[in-house]
Amino acid sequence: MNIARAAEALNNQAVTSAELVEQVIANVAERDGVVKAFLKLDAEKLRKLAAESDARRAGGKALSEYDGIPIGIKDCIVTEGETCACASKLLENVVSPYDSTAVAKLKALGFIPTGRLNMDEFAMGSSCENSAFQKTSNPWDANRVPGGSSGGSAAAVGARLVPAALGSDTGGSIRQPASFCGIVGLKPTYGRVSRYGLVAFASSLDQIGPMTTSVEDAAILLQAITGADEHDSTSLPLPEENFVQAVREATVEDLKTLKIGLPEEYFNAEGMSAEVKQAIDASVKKIKAAGAEIVPVKLPHTKYAVAVYYIIATAEASANLARFDGIRYGARQEAKDLIASYFASRGAGFGEEVKRRILLGTYVLSSGYYDAYYLRAQKVRTLIRRDFEEAFKSCDILLTPVAPNVAFKFGEKSANPLEMYLSDIFTIALNLAGNCGISVPAELGSESSMPIGVQFIAPALAEAKLLKAARAFELLRGDFPAPQGC
Ligand code: GLN
């Protein structure tokens, strides 16, 4: 059951929260042995929270229509009293003493934060293969990756283990795994959702967002977690908007009023597979036939986006991860003195990709190289943002692929980090620009039969418009299948 249906069933007394939670526990027992999306799931705690929710509802005191619905949580978004390892050995036994604002807001509406979902260590990666603990498989094909870094969230929702989950997106980590697992993934505008309690990877890019099986559910979760927060000075005070209503009002007819831009650079990118191209082209054709105006646009600085991202994100990561030294946080390796202990703790605790990023980030920030790399990347970041501003002068929404390929096989890209980085080409530019974007399942690939998502991108803070367009597309597309056995 997705969120909307679960809410309806709870409110009609057709189901209890206890039943919903038992279903999650049973799903995980039956199917997560193969999928391996959950790092932790405390069944007793869930049962207790569900009983409390049912008691509230029975007493007419439900916290909202969603009271009692379980939501999976990515391992880098902290929940009080639960581990927050970020899938890293270094933080394996760290328990959070507080709730992230996103989780606190979910709890305030009665949603039940459910377990800890696997990810690439510290959200660095595109396949979940960088988790220190386990490899999550794609629910559509156990030999393939679920994408990353929010691969556990995507696989859990794709396999219908939980109704929905939260993920985080720094350069595509919500949208790319959503596309790989056949679900909806929304990256909100930078500042739309508080980052308080999201373990920082690259602070100028990170956002928390919904991973769901429908656009309506994405709107429900966004509505739940949005809002200014005194704990995060980059969260924005914004006028209240009703995203759920916007989505419920959307119809296929809305497409007739939309100008949809196709950025040239995203359609002739090197390395794009034939089946992805075919699927995106088919979606464009359908949207056009439904009455949308399709306009070609240009984002000329796209070719620099990967390089700029891997300078800025690693620079910020190298600073953010400095606190994980075994003294302030994390597993400590005793050594002959303080400095030796730092080296030993970080050396033993961080995985290879995290170390690579810290080294890269430290290098681009070091004196002598700062101007040549970091400062320059910041300037090109501005040019990338201006590209989007320019493009949005001639259209309402952009439509692009999410990733150049469908979910790949384990080990296919992990030996070559550059190849892995290059596959982020369609998702990272909008994090650099601060826009919002959503990945919606389009069809199954003609060769692989794996899900392929289409990405819609809107200007900063235009989530209502984005969600409406995504919903119109979803209606046009019709039902999207779940993987076999789910
Ligand atoms: N794949 C990108 C990276 O490895 C994006 C990760 C993310 O969005 N957290 O950095």
Tens digit of pLDDT for each residue in 263-285? 999 998 888 999 999 999 999 99
| Smallest CA separation from ligand 1 atom 5, residue | 171
Centroid of ligand 1 to alpha carbon of 460 (angstroms): 20
Q: Quick one: which atom of ligand 1 is closest to the CA of 123? A: 9
Q: How confident is the model at residue 379 (pLDDT cuts 50, 70, 90)?
A: very high
Buried b (16+ CB within 10 A) or exposed e, 55-75: ebbeeeebeebbbbbbbbbbb
> Where is 481: in which H helix or E strand?
none
pLDDT band for position 400 (50/70/90)? very high
Is the shortest distance between the CB of 353 and ligand 1 below 6 Å? no
Q: What is the DSSP letter of 371?
A: I
- Ligand 1 pocket mutation pick from 120, 357, 420 by most atoms within 8 angstroms of CB: 120
Q: Is 273 in the pocket of ligand 1 (CB under 6 A)?
A: no
Is residue 120 over pLDDT 90? yes
Two structure tokens written together for 257 = 């009023």
CB 46 within 8 A of CB 27: no
Task: Compute the distance between CA of residue 346 and CA of residue 336 in angstroms, rounded to an integer.
Answer: 15
- C-alpha 168 – ligand 1 centre gap (Å): 9
Nearest one of 121, 80, 126 to 104, comparing CA atoms: 80
Which among 160, 73, 53 has a CA at the least distance from the CA of 113?
A: 73
pLDDT above 90: residue 374: yes
**Is the CB of residue 431 below 6 angstroms from any atom belonging to ligand 1?**
no
Give the sheet arrangement for strand 164-169, strand by strand.
38-40, 112-117, 70-74, 164-169, 207-212, 184-187, 436-444, 451-458, 397-401, 259-263, 293-297
For residue 268, the model assigns a pLDDT of 86
Q: Which pLDDT tens digit goes with each residue over 442-470?
A: 999 999 999 999 999 999 999 999 999 99
DSSP secondary structure string for all residues of 232-300:
BTTSPP-----HHHHHHH--GGGGGG-EEEEEGGGTS-TT--HHHHHHHHHHHHHHHHTTPEEEEE--G
Atom 10, ligand 1: residue with shortest CA distance: 124
Average pLDDT over residues 392-414: 97
Distance in Å, CA 108 to ligand 1 centroid: 30
- Residue 77 pLDDT > 90, yes or no? yes
What is the model's pTM?
0.98
If DSSP codes are grouped into helix, strand and coil, which group holds residue 116?
strand
- Please give the distance, rounded to the nearest whole angstrom, from the Cα atom of residue 354 to the centre of ligand 1: 11
Ligand 1 pocket residue status of 172, Cβ below 6 Å: yes
Nearest CA, atom 4, ligand 1: 125
CA distances to 135, 146, 153, 411, 412 from 143, rounded to whole Å, are 10, 10, 18, 10, 11
400 lines ligand 1 (CB under 6 A): no
Average pLDDT of 237-260?
97
Average pLDDT, the chain: 97
Tokens representing 190 are 């930078």
Residue 124 Cα to ligand 1 midpoint, Å, equals 5
CA of 455 relative to ligand 1 center, distance in Å: 16
pLDDT average, residue stretch 241-259: 98
pLDDT bin (cut points 50, 70, 90) of residue 369 is very high
User: 125: Cβ below 6 Å to ligand 1?
Assistant: yes
Average pLDDT over residues 291-309: 97
Alpha carbon distance 208, 226 (integer Å): 10
Give 275 Cα–ligand 1 centroid separation in angstroms: 24
Q: Which 8-state DSSP code applies to residue 99?
A: -
Residues 450, 181: Cα–Cα separation, whole Å? 8
CB-ligand 1 contact for 170 (6 Å cutoff): yes
Strand partners, 219: none
Catalytic residues: 74, 149, 173
Q: Are 202 and 308 in contact (CB under 8 A)?
A: no
Atom of ligand 1 nearest to the CA of 176: 1
Percent of the chain with pLDDT over 70: 100
Return phi, psi of residue 459, to 5°. Answer: -60, 165
How far apart CA 293 and CA 395 sit, in angstroms, is 9
The per-residue DSSP string of 313-333 comes to: HHHHHHHHGGG-SSSSSS---
- Residue 295 has a pLDDT of 98
Task: Evaluate: CB of 214 within 6 angstroms of ligand 1.
Answer: no
Atom of ligand 1 nearest to the CA of 423: 1
Q: What is the pLDDT of residue 269?
A: 84
Which ligand 1 atom is at minimum distance from the Cα of 428? 5
Say which DSSP state 195 is in. Answer: -
